[in-house]
């Protein structure tokens, strides 16, 4: 018998409105939406809580946090993936694009880091195929332009891997995210305990890498995204010129533009903008860049990513709803809009025929409190 679940007596957050009603999920898909406060026999009484589509996360560094829970401490891949998966389910995320770095530094003195993308992708895909993961996992390759091995690592991937996103990341200090070099120094020295001399040498090394390999790595990343059939994203665009370059490459999503100028240029070029939930919730960027709330007020913010705090995704969506006076619009930044930006047509909205990815949350003093998460009709939290 096909499994059926009815969520009744709920505030249903539809694409453009909120209605009091019920939603039916049958066999993993939404099959019926009705208005009214009645609770039919066998239905689950949501007691007036909100029902929204499952959240869609396009860029999160959370898996890396589980891989290295403390500096210089490595955790087994399969254990890290399981912990990451369960944590996301517990924050209402039902679809995630796991951001995995490609491009390593093998001769950088105290700041070496090795390759792991191919092995990690194999582990995620294997666990996904074996039904060990509670939510829907996809692959996002973070191409580090300022690295030594990017081209070789990209060549290890094929269309069979079904990579969803390839993003171009240039973390060379003194530009983009770290235009303010003092912010880069605070971040790197705090994380790695570098001395004054080590930091100066590290910056010089990175500048040399970018100068020597940057152009070739950008070209290889664009080529790889086309070969893999993946959405191409830019990262930390700062100027009109950088956005124009991104547009020329075929970028359709801009992760974390750092200035109003860049965000305006993105919209002028039809590029969707992503900003981080921590930026919005904390009231500003930890790198000293543009505040997400500024872009929201200027209607230049399209999508929210939890970035490094999974629990922030739902909080940020509700906060945007308050800012705009439109909760459905806020929820769209973490559901339908990220889905559309990467070509996922089967999820992201409470509509008949869509996947039964559903979350239930209550509101306490303006704070959303997740109660349940359902993925393809199965309760996962």
* Residue 189: predicted pLDDT: 60
Tell me: the pLDDT tens digits for 83-133?
999 999 999 999 999 999 999 888 755 566 789 999 999 999 999 999 999
Name which of 19, 92, 168 is nearest 379 in CA terms: 92
Q: How confident is the model at residue 192 (pLDDT cuts 50, 70, 90)?
A: low
What is the CATH number that goes with domain 54-346? Answer: 3.20.20.140
Q: How many angstroms separate the CA atoms of 208 and 176, rounded?
A: 17
Candidate from 84-93, 156-165, 207-216, 299-308 with smallest mean pLDDT: 207-216
* Residue 95: predicted pLDDT: 98
Evaluate whether 85 touches 135 at the Cβ level (below 8 Å).
yes
Evaluate whether 328 touches 18 at the Cβ level (below 8 Å).
yes
* Residue 184: predicted pLDDT: 65
pLDDT at position 227 over 90: yes
250 Cβ contact list (under 8 Å, min separation 6): 222, 225, 226, 232
pLDDT at position 217 over 90: yes
Q: How many angstroms separate the CA atoms of 118 and 369, rounded?
A: 36
240 Cβ contact list (under 8 Å, min separation 6): 261, 262, 265
Cα–Cα distances in Å, from 117 out to 106, 121, 368? Answer: 15, 6, 34
Please state the φ and ψ torsions of residue 75, each to the nearest 5 degrees. -115, 145
* Residue 212: predicted pLDDT: 78
Tell me the range of 109-118, 162-171, 341-350 where mean pLDDT is highest: 341-350
pLDDT at position 190 over 60: no
CB count in 10 Å sphere of residue 15: 15
* Residue 374: predicted pLDDT: 98
pTM of the model: 0.91
Evaluate whether 236 touches 170 at the Cβ level (below 8 Å).
yes
Q: What is the 3-state secondary structure (H, E, C) of the chain?
A: CCCEEEEEEEEEECCCCEEEEEEEEECCEEEEEEECCCCCCCCEECCCCEEEECEEEEEECHHHHHHCCECCECCCHHHHHHHHHHHHHCCCEEEEEEEEEECCECCCHHHCECCCHHHHHHHHHHHHHCCCCCCEEEEEEEEECCCCCHHHHHCCCCHHHCEEEEEEECCCCCCHHHCCHHHHHHHHHHHHCCCHHHHHHHHHHHHHHHHHHHHHHHHHHHHHHHHHCCEEEEECCCCHHHHHHHHHHCCCEEECCCCHHHHHHHHHCCCEEEEEHHHHHHCCCCCCCCCHHHHHHCCCCCEEECECCCCHHHHHHHHHHHHHCCHHHHHHCCCHHHHHHCCCCCCCCCCCCCECCEEEEEEECCEEEEEEEEECCEECC
Evaluate whether 304 touches 277 at the Cβ level (below 8 Å).
yes
Q: 25: left (phi > 0), else alpha (psi -120 to 50), else beta?
A: beta
Mean pLDDT within 345-358: 98
Tell me: the pLDDT tens digits for 310-340?
999 999 999 999 999 999 999 999 999 999 9
* Residue 188: predicted pLDDT: 63
pLDDT at position 72 over 70: yes
pLDDT at position 259 over 90: yes
pLDDT at position 202 over 90: no
Mean pLDDT within 347-351: 98
Proportion of the chain above pLDDT 90, given as a percent: 79
Tell me: the pLDDT tens digits for 26-62?
999 999 999 999 999 999 999 999 999 999 999 999 9
pLDDT at position 183 over 70: no
Candidate from 26-40, 206-220, 232-246 with smallest mean pLDDT: 206-220
Proportion of the chain above pLDDT 70, given as a percent: 90
Mean pLDDT of the chain: 92
Pick the more confident residue, 74 or 212: 74
Evaluate whether 98 touches 124 at the Cβ level (below 8 Å).
yes
CA angle 18, 24, 28 (to 5 degrees): 115
Name which of 292, 215, 304 is nearest 259 in CA terms: 292
Q: How many angstroms separate the CA atoms of 132 and 348, rounded?
A: 23
């Amino acid at each position: 018998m096909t499994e059926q679940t009815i969520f009744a007596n709920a505030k249903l957050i539809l694409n453009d409105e909120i209605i009091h009603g019920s939603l039916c999920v049958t066999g993993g898909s939404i099959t019926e939406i009705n208005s009214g406060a009645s609770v039919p026999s066998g239905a689950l009484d949501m007691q007036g809580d909100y029902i929204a589509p499952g959240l869609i996360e396009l860029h999160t560094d959370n898996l890396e946090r589980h891989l290295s829970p403390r500096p210089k401490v490595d955790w087994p891949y399969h254990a890290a993936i399981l912990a990451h998966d369960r944590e996301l389910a517990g924050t209402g995320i039902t679809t995630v694009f796991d951001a995995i770095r490609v491009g390593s530094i093998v001769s950088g003195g105290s700041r070496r880091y090795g390759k792991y993308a191919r092995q990690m992708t194999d582990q995620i895909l294997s666990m996904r195929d074996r039904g060990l993961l509670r939510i829907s996992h996809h692959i996002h390759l973070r191409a580090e332009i300022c690295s030594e091995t990017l081209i070789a690592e990209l060549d290890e991937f094929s269309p069979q891997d079904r990579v969803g996103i390839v993003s171009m990341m240039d973390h060379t200090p003194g530009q983009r995210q770290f235009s303010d070099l003092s912010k880069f120094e605070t971040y790197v020295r705090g994380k790695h305990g570098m001395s004054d001399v080590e930091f100066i040498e590290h910056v010089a090394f990175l500048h040399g890498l970018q100068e020597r390999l940057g152009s070739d790595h950008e070209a290889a990343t664009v080529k790889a995204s086309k070969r893999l059939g993946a959405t191409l994203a830019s990262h930390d665009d700062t100027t009109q010129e950088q956005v124009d370059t991104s547009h020329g490459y075929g970028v359709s999503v801009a992760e974390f533009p750092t200035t109003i100028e860049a965000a305006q240029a993105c919209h002028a070029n039809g590029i969707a903008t992503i900003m981080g939930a921590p930026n919005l919730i904390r009231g500003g960027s930890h790198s000293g860049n543009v505040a997400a709330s500024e872009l929201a007020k200027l209607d230049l913010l399209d999508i929210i990513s939890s970035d490094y705090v999974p629990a922030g995704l739902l909080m940020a969506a509700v906060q945007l709803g308050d800012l705009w006076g439109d909760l459905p619009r806020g929820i769209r930044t973490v559901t339908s809009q990220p889905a559309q930006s990467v070509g996922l047509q089967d999820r992201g909205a409470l509509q008949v025929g869509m996947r039964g990815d559903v979350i239930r949350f209550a509101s306490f003093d303006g704070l959303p409190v997740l109660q349940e998460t359902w993925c393809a009709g199965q309760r996962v939290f």
